[in-house]
Amino acid sequence: MAAAACDPRDKGPEPAEWYLAGNFTSAGDQPAAHLARRTATGWTGLDEGADGPAHAWALFDSDDTVGDPGLLYLAGAFNYVGNETGEAGHIACWGPLFRYGARRGDLNCDGRVDFDDVDPCVLALSAPEQYAVQYPGCDALAADCDDDGAVSFDDVEAFVRLLGG
């Protein structure tokens, strides 16, 4: 098992999120294929997980720029993490798409950015309180698709670009 703590919003003094990697299929009562994240609201699987156990996390922040938390690297005995193939033989990296503890644009928290995220995105933009009730384990800051630190209608164009891949 390996654990890492980081403040994905890089704004402090918010509590860090904990990332856990190992040979497991659930965290708390949530499915988690070898990868999990602990936030203030509880455990969640990290994206679609990995196809094999992960052994180490490392946080790399080359410049300590506020608002840029750096990159979170993962190493282990896996061939893919989420929908991606591991780079350089069993290594994966989370960067700006995961800056807020959730993949930007993934408003229904299924680990993908697709058309199933359109309605939750509209809800996060227009009625954040209702979004929080309807998607209690999700982070509305995933709607900050233009990465300006705020969820607003300025994010719509960037969200549409994410849908286009």
- pLDDT for 133 equals 93
Residue 43 identity (one-letter amino acid): W
Last residue of a domain, one of 48, 63, 98: 98
Are both 64 and 130 inside the same structural domain?
A: no
Low-confidence stretches of the chain (pLDDT < 50) are 66-67, 85-88, 96-101
- pLDDT for 62 equals 55
Are both 83 and 132 inside the same structural domain?
A: no
- pLDDT for 93 equals 67
Domain count, the chain: 2
As a whole number of angstroms, the longest Cα–Cα distance in the chain is 43
Query: Would 123 be classed as within a structural domain?
Result: yes
- pLDDT for 106 equals 85
Are both 76 and 147 inside the same structural domain?
A: no
Are both 30 and 71 inside the same structural domain?
A: yes
Residues ≥6 apart with Cβ < 8 Å to 104? 96, 97, 98, 113, 142, 144, 145, 147, 162
**Distance separating alpha carbons of residues 65 and 103, to the nearest angstrom:** 20
Query: Would 33 be classed as within a structural domain?
Result: yes
